[in-house]
Amino acid sequence: MKLRESYTCPLEIVHDVIKGKWKTIIIFQLRNGKCSFSELRHSIAGITQKMLLEQLHELKSFGLINKKTYDGYPLKVEYFLTKRGEKMLSAIKIMQEIGIEYMIEHDMTDILDEKGICY
């Protein structure tokens, strides 16, 4: 994904950087530190391998995540948040809290229970 040539405000840039279904979820999954590709793939229900690769590539190009590749066989790659990614995570945690509040208000706590999300 490529950013536009011009923007009218900084929020437009941030929106373009994180828009889509998966990017905020990937960042949230990296909140506890480094994760391998397979760990990310198994922790995000519904994402395909191709989509995860694309989203990781975009997040890396925007400077929100980075990866470390280890020598040897089998190939081992770990993804982690950069300083910018950690800042974005702070905003995503607030978004998560708002989502939880909404779900509680609208009797959707069964989903929270199913996912093991405390409320």
Q: Does the bond joining 74 to the residue before it have cis omega, within 30 degrees of 0?
A: yes
**Share in percent of the chain as helix, strand, coil (round to 5):** 60, 10, 30
Q: Is 80 helix (H, G, I), strand (E, B) or coil?
A: strand
Other CB atoms within 10 Å distance of the CB of residue 58: 19
DSSP letters of 89-103? HHHHHHHHHHHHHHH
Model-level pTM? Answer: 0.88
Model confidence pLDDT, tens digit, residues 15-54: 989 998 999 999 999 999 999 999 999 999 999 999 999 9
